[in-house]
Amino acid sequence: MNNIEKNISVKQYNTFSINAYSNNYACFNSVEKLEELLNLYQQITNSQQNSFLILGGGSNLLFTSNFDGLMLKNEIKGIQVIKEDEHHIYIHAGAGENWHQFVLYCIEKGFAGVENLSLIPGNVGASPMQNIGAYGVEIKDVFHSLEAYHIKDKKLVTFTLNDCEFGYRESVFKRKLKGQFVITSVTYRLNKVPKFNTSYGAIEQELKKMGVTELSIKAISDAVINIRSSKLPDPKVIGNAGSFFKNPEISSSQFAVLSSQFPNIVVYHLPNGNVKLAAGWLIEQCGPENGVSWKGYRKGDAGCHEKQALVLLNYGNATGKEIFDLSEVILQSVKEKFGVVLEREVNIV
């Protein structure tokens, strides 16, 4: 098959370390190479209705079965400043760049805006697709534009901020344009003068513990790295995809009912008047049986992290189906207790 390999294990390509197989696999480091592989695959299969999976860092995928299509690993690299104005730096990055390394690069250069997003696993290309966010910052806050290759029309298209239709862990690429485009590069608009965001989570507390007296983007990044490292397991040590579920958003009237029943419920009040619940807290209050929490739960090699119930784990040889089935019973237990339906943040393959 020339550049396309057959029956390749995807275990090393997903942070859950699920040992599934892809019927066809190839990697590309340019738009031209991507186009060449797509054309080759269509010639071989003699069909325009092909199944594709674009692989980045593999940090937001759960393989519940083998993939019977063409898996393409995005390895487009390169970081460069393309323009600047009085207040901003516009920095262009290939979709195959590692996200955390990109953040560290920006911090080293003094480009502010992504420091709160330190240590998030995955690649640059996934950042706008997921509208990744942490500690009060989302990609939409620093996003300028992206380029994406339209698989059917075989051309590059530029997307602006409005085109991407960003929402909470959402974008147009996860909904109506799902599977139609391959993100090849992203341009971010970063600040020359930092606008520090330390109000979310335990950042201020961590900065005090670190003895920081003069705030900087490096100090905030270090604080975020410390917090994430203390709460979240390293995928290189134990298989996981970070937060498995989204924090659900409910109406203020629904919250009024819930808070009367559960006075300690953890919430974040939103500008639109709605309320966002902490999915981790909801899951902790539930469990497989009375008196037992999902937090720290384990069945075989599938389980929940002992420090954060929002994180599902593969302790070694769990299958994707076992992880998925665990997520199903967690969803059901939260729905039964709170009347709230959680949504998976991880993409199921």
Show which residues are catalytic. Answer: 169, 243, 345
**Separation CA 15–CA 237 (nearest Å):** 10
Is the Cβ–Cβ distance between 103 and 221 less than 8 Å?
yes
**Tell me, what amino acid is at 172?**
V
Closest CA to 183 of 112, 65, 244, 92: 92
Print burial letters for 152-170: b (CB count within 10 Å at least 16), e (below 16). Answer: eeeeeeebeeeebbbebbb
Judge contact between 313 and 304, C-beta under 8 A.
Answer: yes
- Provide the residue type at 282 as one letter: L
Task: Provide the b/e sequence for 268-306 (b: ≥16 CB within 10 Å).
Answer: eeeeeeebbbebbbbbbbbbeeeeeebbebeeeebbbbe
The partner residues of 307 in beta bridges, in order of sequence, read none
3-state class of 331 per DSSP? helix
